[in-house]
Amino acid sequence: MIHTGRHFLQIPGLTNVPDRVLRAKDHPVIDHRGPEFAELGLEVLSGIREIFQTKGHVVIYPSSGTGACEAALVNTLSPGDRVIIFETGQFSNIWLGIAKRLGLDVDYVPGNWRRGASPSDLEARLSADSRQAVKAVVAVHNETSTGAVSRIAELRRVLNRRKHPALLIVDTVSSLGSIDFQTDEWEVDVAACGSQKGLMVPPGLGFNAISEKALAANKTASMPRCYWDWQDMLKNNQTGFFPYTPATNLLFGLNEALKMMREEGLQNIFRRHARHAEATRAAVRAWGLEIVCEDPLEYSNSLTGVFTAPGHDADRLRKIVLENFDMSLGAGLGKLAGKAFRIGHLGAFNDLMLAGTLAGVEMGLRLAGIPHNEGGVMAALNSLTPAAKRTSEPATVSR
Protein backbone atom coordinates (compact mmCIF):
# COMPACT_ATOMS: atom_id res chain seq x y z
CA MET A 1 0.00 0.00 0.00
CA ILE A 2 1.29 3.47 -0.89
CA HIS A 3 0.88 5.87 2.02
CA THR A 4 0.48 9.63 1.78
CA GLY A 5 0.77 12.21 4.53
CA ARG A 6 2.97 11.80 7.59
CA HIS A 7 3.68 8.56 9.37
CA PHE A 8 2.13 8.33 12.85
CA LEU A 9 4.92 7.27 15.21
CA GLN A 10 3.00 6.33 18.35
CA ILE A 11 5.45 4.03 20.06
CA PRO A 12 6.54 5.12 23.57
CA GLY A 13 9.85 6.42 22.13
CA LEU A 14 11.49 7.11 19.84
CA THR A 15 9.11 10.06 19.78
CA ASN A 16 8.28 12.60 17.12
CA VAL A 17 11.05 15.18 16.79
CA PRO A 18 9.71 18.75 16.44
CA ASP A 19 10.65 20.69 13.31
CA ARG A 20 12.43 23.28 15.45
CA VAL A 21 14.70 20.58 16.86
CA LEU A 22 15.34 19.10 13.42
CA ARG A 23 16.31 22.51 12.09
CA ALA A 24 18.57 23.21 15.05
CA LYS A 25 20.28 19.85 14.64
CA ASP A 26 20.87 20.61 10.96
CA HIS A 27 23.75 22.92 11.87
CA PRO A 28 27.21 23.02 10.37
CA VAL A 29 29.62 20.93 12.41
CA ILE A 30 31.74 23.14 14.65
CA ASP A 31 35.02 22.72 16.49
CA HIS A 32 34.20 20.82 19.67
CA ARG A 33 37.29 22.38 21.28
CA GLY A 34 36.43 25.95 20.26
CA PRO A 35 34.71 28.83 22.07
CA GLU A 36 31.39 28.44 20.19
CA PHE A 37 31.05 24.88 21.43
CA ALA A 38 32.00 25.86 25.00
CA GLU A 39 29.09 28.31 25.01
CA LEU A 40 26.73 25.60 23.73
CA GLY A 41 28.01 23.07 26.25
CA LEU A 42 27.51 25.37 29.24
CA GLU A 43 24.02 26.34 28.05
CA VAL A 44 22.91 22.74 27.58
CA LEU A 45 24.38 21.56 30.89
CA SER A 46 22.55 24.35 32.69
CA GLY A 47 19.25 23.78 30.88
CA ILE A 48 19.09 20.04 31.44
CA ARG A 49 19.33 20.56 35.21
CA GLU A 50 16.00 22.38 35.08
CA ILE A 51 14.33 19.33 33.53
CA PHE A 52 15.80 16.99 36.14
CA GLN A 53 14.74 19.53 38.79
CA THR A 54 18.16 19.45 40.37
CA LYS A 55 20.85 21.89 41.42
CA GLY A 56 23.40 19.10 41.18
CA HIS A 57 25.55 17.93 38.31
CA VAL A 58 24.20 16.35 35.13
CA VAL A 59 26.59 14.64 32.73
CA ILE A 60 25.75 13.93 29.10
CA TYR A 61 27.17 10.94 27.23
CA PRO A 62 27.12 10.11 23.52
CA SER A 63 25.07 6.99 24.29
CA SER A 64 21.69 5.38 24.58
CA GLY A 65 19.76 5.31 27.83
CA THR A 66 21.24 1.88 28.50
CA GLY A 67 24.68 3.44 28.51
CA ALA A 68 23.50 5.92 31.12
CA CYS A 69 22.20 3.01 33.22
CA GLU A 70 25.59 1.31 33.11
CA ALA A 71 27.29 4.61 33.98
CA ALA A 72 25.10 4.94 37.08
CA LEU A 73 26.27 1.57 38.38
CA VAL A 74 29.97 1.63 37.50
CA ASN A 75 30.47 5.08 39.00
CA THR A 76 28.94 4.29 42.39
CA LEU A 77 29.51 0.59 43.15
CA SER A 78 32.21 -2.05 43.50
CA PRO A 79 32.23 -5.67 42.31
CA GLY A 80 30.25 -7.88 44.68
CA ASP A 81 28.16 -5.04 46.12
CA ARG A 82 24.61 -6.00 46.99
CA VAL A 83 21.83 -4.13 45.17
CA ILE A 84 18.06 -4.35 45.19
CA ILE A 85 16.37 -4.08 41.77
CA PHE A 86 12.60 -4.15 41.38
CA GLU A 87 11.10 -6.26 38.61
CA THR A 88 8.57 -4.00 36.93
CA GLY A 89 8.92 -5.08 33.29
CA GLN A 90 11.31 -5.49 30.39
CA PHE A 91 13.43 -2.48 31.27
CA SER A 92 14.01 -3.54 34.85
CA ASN A 93 15.28 -6.76 33.24
CA ILE A 94 17.86 -4.67 31.39
CA TRP A 95 19.10 -3.26 34.69
CA LEU A 96 19.29 -6.82 36.04
CA GLY A 97 21.37 -7.94 33.07
CA ILE A 98 23.80 -5.05 33.38
CA ALA A 99 24.19 -5.54 37.12
CA LYS A 100 24.89 -9.26 36.79
CA ARG A 101 27.46 -8.73 34.05
CA LEU A 102 29.20 -6.18 36.26
CA GLY A 103 29.49 -8.74 39.04
CA LEU A 104 27.00 -7.20 41.44
CA ASP A 105 25.02 -9.29 43.94
CA VAL A 106 21.42 -8.65 42.89
CA ASP A 107 18.27 -9.11 44.94
CA TYR A 108 15.68 -8.98 42.14
CA VAL A 109 12.34 -8.26 43.78
CA PRO A 110 9.71 -10.19 41.77
CA GLY A 111 6.80 -8.33 40.17
CA ASN A 112 3.84 -9.12 37.95
CA TRP A 113 4.65 -6.59 35.20
CA ARG A 114 1.49 -4.64 36.05
CA ARG A 115 2.70 -2.59 39.01
CA GLY A 116 5.51 -0.24 39.94
CA ALA A 117 8.16 -0.88 42.59
CA SER A 118 6.58 -1.73 45.95
CA PRO A 119 7.51 0.44 48.96
CA SER A 120 6.32 -2.32 51.31
CA ASP A 121 8.62 -4.85 49.62
CA LEU A 122 11.51 -2.42 50.05
CA GLU A 123 10.59 -1.95 53.71
CA ALA A 124 10.69 -5.71 54.27
CA ARG A 125 14.06 -6.15 52.60
CA LEU A 126 15.69 -3.24 54.38
CA SER A 127 14.33 -4.38 57.75
CA ALA A 128 16.10 -7.70 57.17
CA ASP A 129 19.33 -5.92 56.22
CA SER A 130 20.58 -5.36 59.76
CA ARG A 131 24.17 -4.94 58.62
CA GLN A 132 23.16 -2.47 55.91
CA ALA A 133 24.91 -4.52 53.28
CA VAL A 134 22.65 -3.20 50.50
CA LYS A 135 24.55 -0.48 48.66
CA ALA A 136 21.91 0.63 46.16
CA VAL A 137 18.20 0.41 45.38
CA VAL A 138 17.33 0.54 41.67
CA ALA A 139 13.86 1.29 40.31
CA VAL A 140 12.41 2.23 36.93
CA HIS A 141 10.30 5.34 37.39
CA ASN A 142 8.10 4.76 34.35
CA GLU A 143 8.22 1.19 33.03
CA THR A 144 8.07 1.66 29.27
CA SER A 145 7.04 -1.93 28.61
CA THR A 146 3.92 -1.78 30.79
CA GLY A 147 2.86 1.80 31.50
CA ALA A 148 3.21 1.49 35.28
CA VAL A 149 4.88 4.21 37.38
CA SER A 150 6.91 3.56 40.52
CA ARG A 151 6.33 5.92 43.43
CA ILE A 152 9.91 7.08 43.88
CA ALA A 153 9.17 9.54 46.67
CA GLU A 154 7.70 6.68 48.74
CA LEU A 155 10.79 4.53 48.15
CA ARG A 156 12.93 7.40 49.43
CA ARG A 157 10.73 7.75 52.50
CA VAL A 158 11.29 4.06 53.27
CA LEU A 159 15.06 4.50 53.00
CA ASN A 160 14.97 7.55 55.24
CA ARG A 161 12.66 5.94 57.78
CA ARG A 162 15.02 2.97 58.04
CA LYS A 163 18.01 5.36 58.16
CA HIS A 164 19.53 3.18 55.46
CA PRO A 165 22.53 4.58 53.54
CA ALA A 166 21.83 2.78 50.24
CA LEU A 167 21.88 4.90 47.12
CA LEU A 168 18.60 5.42 45.27
CA ILE A 169 19.21 4.95 41.53
CA VAL A 170 16.31 5.61 39.17
CA ASP A 171 15.65 5.00 35.47
CA THR A 172 13.84 8.06 34.09
CA VAL A 173 14.19 7.18 30.40
CA SER A 174 10.48 7.37 29.54
CA SER A 175 9.40 9.78 32.27
CA LEU A 176 11.79 12.74 32.20
CA GLY A 177 10.10 15.68 30.55
CA SER A 178 6.73 13.89 30.54
CA ILE A 179 5.95 12.94 34.14
CA ASP A 180 6.93 14.98 37.18
CA PHE A 181 10.34 13.77 38.37
CA GLN A 182 11.94 15.68 41.25
CA THR A 183 15.55 14.62 41.57
CA ASP A 184 16.43 16.83 44.53
CA GLU A 185 13.08 16.78 46.35
CA TRP A 186 12.95 12.97 46.25
CA GLU A 187 16.65 12.67 47.12
CA VAL A 188 17.42 10.56 44.06
CA ASP A 189 21.15 9.84 44.02
CA VAL A 190 21.52 8.96 40.34
CA ALA A 191 18.89 9.42 37.64
CA ALA A 192 19.55 7.87 34.23
CA CYS A 193 17.87 9.02 31.02
CA GLY A 194 18.06 9.06 27.22
CA SER A 195 17.28 11.79 24.71
CA GLN A 196 14.71 10.05 22.51
CA LYS A 197 11.49 10.26 24.51
CA GLY A 198 10.19 13.19 26.54
CA LEU A 199 13.17 15.34 25.60
CA MET A 200 12.05 15.20 21.93
CA VAL A 201 15.55 14.66 20.52
CA PRO A 202 16.75 11.79 18.30
CA PRO A 203 18.46 8.90 20.11
CA GLY A 204 22.13 9.22 20.96
CA LEU A 205 22.40 11.13 24.24
CA GLY A 206 22.49 9.55 27.70
CA PHE A 207 22.25 11.45 30.98
CA ASN A 208 23.18 10.98 34.63
CA ALA A 209 21.90 13.43 37.26
CA ILE A 210 24.19 13.02 40.25
CA SER A 211 23.71 13.83 43.95
CA GLU A 212 26.48 14.80 46.36
CA LYS A 213 26.00 11.45 48.07
CA ALA A 214 26.59 9.67 44.76
CA LEU A 215 29.72 11.76 44.18
CA ALA A 216 31.00 10.67 47.59
CA ALA A 217 30.32 7.02 46.67
CA ASN A 218 32.17 7.58 43.41
CA LYS A 219 35.39 8.22 45.33
CA THR A 220 35.45 4.70 46.81
CA ALA A 221 33.69 2.76 44.03
CA SER A 222 36.14 0.32 42.43
CA MET A 223 34.16 -0.83 39.41
CA PRO A 224 36.39 -0.55 36.31
CA ARG A 225 35.40 2.42 34.17
CA CYS A 226 36.93 4.69 31.57
CA TYR A 227 34.42 5.98 29.00
CA TRP A 228 31.75 6.34 31.70
CA ASP A 229 33.93 7.99 34.35
CA TRP A 230 32.13 10.92 35.97
CA GLN A 231 35.32 12.62 37.10
CA ASP A 232 36.62 13.06 33.58
CA MET A 233 33.26 14.45 32.51
CA LEU A 234 32.84 16.83 35.42
CA LYS A 235 36.36 18.23 35.07
CA ASN A 236 35.84 19.07 31.39
CA ASN A 237 32.24 20.21 31.84
CA GLN A 238 33.35 23.08 34.06
CA THR A 239 34.33 24.97 30.91
CA GLY A 240 31.63 23.52 28.64
CA PHE A 241 33.77 20.79 27.11
CA PHE A 242 33.80 16.98 27.15
CA PRO A 243 36.66 14.49 27.63
CA TYR A 244 36.02 12.95 24.21
CA THR A 245 34.17 13.87 21.04
CA PRO A 246 30.59 14.80 21.98
CA ALA A 247 27.51 14.39 19.79
CA THR A 248 27.73 18.02 18.75
CA ASN A 249 24.72 18.25 16.48
CA LEU A 250 22.50 16.34 18.89
CA LEU A 251 23.48 18.93 21.50
CA PHE A 252 22.28 21.68 19.15
CA GLY A 253 18.99 19.81 18.92
CA LEU A 254 18.82 19.30 22.69
CA ASN A 255 19.44 22.99 23.29
CA GLU A 256 16.47 23.88 21.10
CA ALA A 257 14.29 21.25 22.80
CA LEU A 258 15.18 22.73 26.18
CA LYS A 259 14.17 26.18 24.92
CA MET A 260 10.82 24.77 23.78
CA MET A 261 10.24 23.13 27.14
CA ARG A 262 11.11 26.34 28.95
CA GLU A 263 8.63 28.25 26.78
CA GLU A 264 5.80 25.82 27.57
CA GLY A 265 6.73 25.51 31.23
CA LEU A 266 7.55 22.25 32.95
CA GLN A 267 4.35 22.09 34.99
CA ASN A 268 2.29 22.78 31.87
CA ILE A 269 4.11 19.93 30.11
CA PHE A 270 3.18 17.58 32.95
CA ARG A 271 -0.46 18.70 32.83
CA ARG A 272 -0.58 18.20 29.06
CA HIS A 273 0.73 14.65 29.36
CA ALA A 274 -1.72 13.86 32.17
CA ARG A 275 -4.62 15.15 30.06
CA HIS A 276 -3.67 13.07 27.03
CA ALA A 277 -3.11 9.99 29.16
CA GLU A 278 -6.52 10.25 30.79
CA ALA A 279 -8.19 10.68 27.42
CA THR A 280 -6.39 7.58 26.14
CA ARG A 281 -7.52 5.56 29.13
CA ALA A 282 -11.07 6.78 28.56
CA ALA A 283 -10.87 5.36 25.04
CA VAL A 284 -9.52 2.02 26.26
CA ARG A 285 -12.30 1.70 28.83
CA ALA A 286 -14.92 2.55 26.22
CA TRP A 287 -13.53 -0.15 23.91
CA GLY A 288 -13.97 -2.62 26.78
CA LEU A 289 -10.28 -3.51 26.74
CA GLU A 290 -8.00 -3.85 29.76
CA ILE A 291 -5.21 -1.47 30.73
CA VAL A 292 -1.98 -3.32 31.55
CA CYS A 293 -1.26 -1.23 34.66
CA GLU A 294 -3.64 -2.49 37.32
CA ASP A 295 -3.36 0.34 39.89
CA PRO A 296 -4.82 3.73 38.92
CA LEU A 297 -2.33 5.40 41.30
CA GLU A 298 0.45 4.09 39.07
CA TYR A 299 -0.99 4.89 35.63
CA SER A 300 1.63 6.28 33.27
CA ASN A 301 1.16 9.63 31.57
CA SER A 302 3.77 8.74 28.91
CA LEU A 303 2.12 5.66 27.47
CA THR A 304 -0.76 3.27 27.92
CA GLY A 305 -0.32 -0.49 27.66
CA VAL A 306 -3.46 -2.28 26.44
CA PHE A 307 -4.34 -5.98 26.44
CA THR A 308 -6.11 -7.31 23.39
CA ALA A 309 -9.06 -9.63 23.97
CA PRO A 310 -7.99 -13.17 24.94
CA GLY A 311 -7.06 -15.27 21.94
CA HIS A 312 -6.30 -12.26 19.73
CA ASP A 313 -2.73 -11.44 18.72
CA ALA A 314 -1.67 -7.88 19.55
CA ASP A 315 1.15 -8.04 17.01
CA ARG A 316 -1.34 -8.86 14.25
CA LEU A 317 -3.32 -5.77 15.26
CA ARG A 318 -0.16 -3.67 15.10
CA LYS A 319 0.63 -5.06 11.65
CA ILE A 320 -2.85 -4.24 10.38
CA VAL A 321 -2.66 -0.70 11.76
CA LEU A 322 0.75 -0.14 10.19
CA GLU A 323 -0.21 -1.52 6.78
CA ASN A 324 -3.57 0.24 6.55
CA PHE A 325 -3.02 3.52 8.38
CA ASP A 326 0.77 4.01 8.41
CA MET A 327 0.86 4.15 12.20
CA SER A 328 3.37 2.45 14.48
CA LEU A 329 2.20 1.22 17.88
CA GLY A 330 4.49 -0.20 20.55
CA ALA A 331 4.86 -3.96 20.73
CA GLY A 332 4.27 -6.03 23.83
CA LEU A 333 7.71 -6.90 25.23
CA GLY A 334 8.90 -9.93 27.15
CA LYS A 335 6.06 -11.51 29.09
CA LEU A 336 3.56 -9.29 27.26
CA ALA A 337 4.65 -10.21 23.73
CA GLY A 338 1.61 -10.81 21.53
CA LYS A 339 -0.74 -10.06 24.42
CA ALA A 340 -0.57 -6.28 24.59
CA PHE A 341 0.21 -3.21 22.53
CA ARG A 342 1.39 0.18 23.71
CA ILE A 343 0.12 3.63 22.76
CA GLY A 344 2.74 6.33 23.16
CA HIS A 345 1.41 9.80 24.03
CA LEU A 346 4.52 11.69 25.04
CA GLY A 347 6.87 14.31 23.76
CA ALA A 348 5.84 16.66 20.93
CA PHE A 349 2.14 15.78 20.97
CA ASN A 350 -1.24 17.51 20.87
CA ASP A 351 -4.98 16.87 20.95
CA LEU A 352 -5.42 16.28 17.23
CA MET A 353 -2.47 13.89 17.11
CA LEU A 354 -4.07 11.93 19.94
CA ALA A 355 -7.45 11.88 18.18
CA GLY A 356 -5.80 10.55 15.03
CA THR A 357 -3.87 7.95 17.00
CA LEU A 358 -6.96 6.62 18.75
CA ALA A 359 -8.93 6.64 15.50
CA GLY A 360 -6.22 4.46 13.97
CA VAL A 361 -6.42 2.03 16.88
CA GLU A 362 -10.21 1.85 16.72
CA MET A 363 -10.21 1.24 12.97
CA GLY A 364 -7.49 -1.36 13.46
CA LEU A 365 -9.53 -3.19 16.08
CA ARG A 366 -12.39 -3.32 13.61
CA LEU A 367 -10.27 -4.61 10.72
CA ALA A 368 -8.53 -7.17 12.96
CA GLY A 369 -11.86 -8.55 14.18
CA ILE A 370 -10.89 -8.02 17.82
CA PRO A 371 -13.95 -7.89 20.08
CA HIS A 372 -14.47 -4.34 21.33
CA ASN A 373 -17.12 -1.72 21.82
CA GLU A 374 -17.41 1.23 19.47
CA GLY A 375 -17.00 4.76 20.77
CA GLY A 376 -13.47 4.85 22.18
CA VAL A 377 -12.50 7.86 20.11
CA MET A 378 -15.63 9.74 21.18
CA ALA A 379 -14.91 8.92 24.82
CA ALA A 380 -11.45 10.43 24.39
CA LEU A 381 -12.87 13.53 22.72
CA ASN A 382 -15.34 13.96 25.56
CA SER A 383 -12.43 13.72 27.99
CA LEU A 384 -10.45 16.34 26.08
CA THR A 385 -13.40 18.70 25.49
CA PRO A 386 -16.23 18.10 27.96
CA ALA A 387 -19.61 19.03 26.47
CA ALA A 388 -20.91 22.46 27.47
CA LYS A 389 -23.95 22.59 29.74
CA ARG A 390 -27.19 22.51 27.80
CA THR A 391 -29.15 25.77 27.60
CA SER A 392 -32.92 25.95 27.61
CA GLU A 393 -32.95 27.32 24.06
CA PRO A 394 -31.65 25.17 21.17
CA ALA A 395 -28.75 26.59 19.23
CA THR A 396 -29.60 28.22 15.90
CA VAL A 397 -27.47 28.40 12.82
CA SER A 398 -27.81 31.40 10.54
CA ARG A 399 -27.38 31.04 6.79
In this prediction, residue 386 carries a pLDDT of: 82
Residue 79 has pLDDT above 90, yes or no: yes
Phi/psi region, residue 163 (left: phi>0; alpha: psi -120 to 50; beta: rest), is left
pLDDT at position 392 over 70: no
Q: What is the DSSP letter of 299?
A: B
Q: Say yes or no to pLDDT of 390 above 50.
A: no
Mean pLDDT of 123-128: 97
What global pTM score does this model have? Answer: 0.95
Across the range 19-25, mean pLDDT stands at 98
Phi-psi region of 397 (alpha: psi -120 to 50; beta: other; left: phi over 0): beta
Residues 6+ apart with CB under 8 A from 162: 123, 126, 127
Helix or strand holding residue 222 (H, E): none
- Per-residue model confidence (pLDDT) at position 1: 75
pLDDT score at 393: 54
Q: What pLDDT does residue 323 have?
A: 97
H-helix segments, the chain: 19-25, 35-52, 65-74, 90-101, 119-127, 152-161, 212-220, 230-237, 248-264, 266-287, 314-325, 351-368, 376-384
Neighbours of 15 (CB within 10 A): 26
Sign of torsion over alpha carbons 166, 183, 197, 110: positive
Q: Answer for the pair 283, 376: CB distance below 8 angstroms, yes or no.
A: yes
In 3D space, the residue among 113, 122, 112 whose CA is nearest the CA of residue 83 turns out to be: 122
Q: Is the pLDDT of residue 347 over 50?
A: yes
Q: Report how far residue 98's alpha carbon sits from residue 339's, in angstroms, rounded to the nearest whole number.
A: 27
Indicate the average pLDDT of the chain: 96
What pLDDT score was predicted for residue 2? 86
Residue 398: pLDDT band by 50, 70, 90 thresholds?
low
Cβ-proximal residues to 5 (8 Å cutoff; 6+ apart), any chain: 326
pLDDT confidence of residue 32: 97
Give the sheet arrangement for strand 303-307, strand by strand: 8-10, 327-331, 340-344, 303-307, 290-291
> Is pLDDT above 80 for 354?
yes
Instruction: Give 30-56 pLDDT, tens digit per residue.
Output: 999 999 999 999 999 999 999 999 999
Q: What is the mean pLDDT of residues 218-232?
A: 97
In sequence order, what are the residues at sequence separation of 6 or more whose Cβ sits closer than 8 angstroms to the Cβ of residue 46? none
- pLDDT tens, position by position, 182-196: 999 999 999 999 999
In this prediction, residue 388 carries a pLDDT of 58
Do strands 205-210 and 190-194 pair parallel, antiparallel, or not at all (unpaired)? antiparallel
Strand pairing partners for 105? 82
d(CA 43, CA 64): 21
What does the pLDDT look like over 276-306, one tens digit per residue? 999 999 999 999 999 999 999 999 999 999 9
Q: How far apart are CA 372 and CA 285, in angstroms?
A: 10
How far apart are alpha carbons 354 and 238 in whole angstroms?
Answer: 42
- Distance, CA of 1 to CA of 312 (rounded, Å): 24
Per-residue pLDDT tens over the stretch 153-188: 999 999 999 999 999 999 999 999 999 999 999 999
Q: Which residues have C-beta within 8 Å of that of residue 152, sequence separation ≥ 6? A: 139, 141, 168, 170, 181, 186, 188
pLDDT bracket for residue 395 (50, 70, 90)? low
